[in-house]
Amino acid sequence: MINVQVVASGSGGNCYRVSDGATAVLLEAGIAFKRIREALGFQVSDLAGCLLSHEHGDHVKAVRDLAKAGVDVYASAGTAEALGLVGHRFHIVRARVAFAIGSWTVLPFETVHDAAEPLGFLLTSGAEKLLFATDTAYLKFRFPGLTHIMVEANYDLPVLKANVASGLVDREVKRRVIRSHMSIDTLCDFLRANELRQLREVILLHLSDDSGDAEGFARRVREIVGRPVRVAEATTLGRVAR
């Protein structure tokens, strides 16, 4: 049974603990190591590894502290090079080449973001499959048999445009957001294109503070998937989404 603990989500930092009951891994390490330790009940040594999607600070802030604490870190060559990650705790992974972390089989895949070599991850344990995709303008692939989806729903385009017109959001920020983050419309199109009969839950990640609508996004996704939909709210400490 997959269990997802949202430690933090959003531009202020991203970090999630995922367990299949046998092996626990961290997805992202974008907040202070102290906060991660507190959220995990000071059981960092129970982590079998940490997966990094890309090198931006709100995803990697604690990565070196985790490695010092004995946690193996997995990232693309581009991410590792951008961060200068060197040492026996840092492992290079390649898109579309699966590897194992304990009882998990992890398949990295390419995403679309303004980073060196960004990745998403498909984590499989037995009959359960979890998709993790954040900070990506869209998803290039289809994923059959998913039971859990953790995916970015960053902004609503009409709201983003209105925020630019009102001066709340800078035009250059708008251009970057559209190039490198997923809108709710794009996410809905992705969900409609996938076969989701085995799906159990969706967790929406990395909502924009200015141009996102947690309740509205959850409602729209729920109408498509017909399953529980939860929102990983910004800097949510230790909340468990089941």
Q: Would you list the domain boundaries of the chain?
A: 3-241
Of the candidate ranges 66-70, 141-145, 168-172, 223-227, the one whose mean pLDDT is the lowest:
168-172
45 DSSP 8-state letter: G
pLDDT one-digit tens code per residue, 207-224: 988 888 999 999 999 999
pTM of the model: 0.94
- DSSP letters spanning 80-147: HHHHT--STTEEE--TT--EEETTEEEEEEE--SSSSS-EEEEEEETTEEEEEE-S-S------TT-S
Does domain 3-241 correspond to CATH entry 3.40.50.720?
no
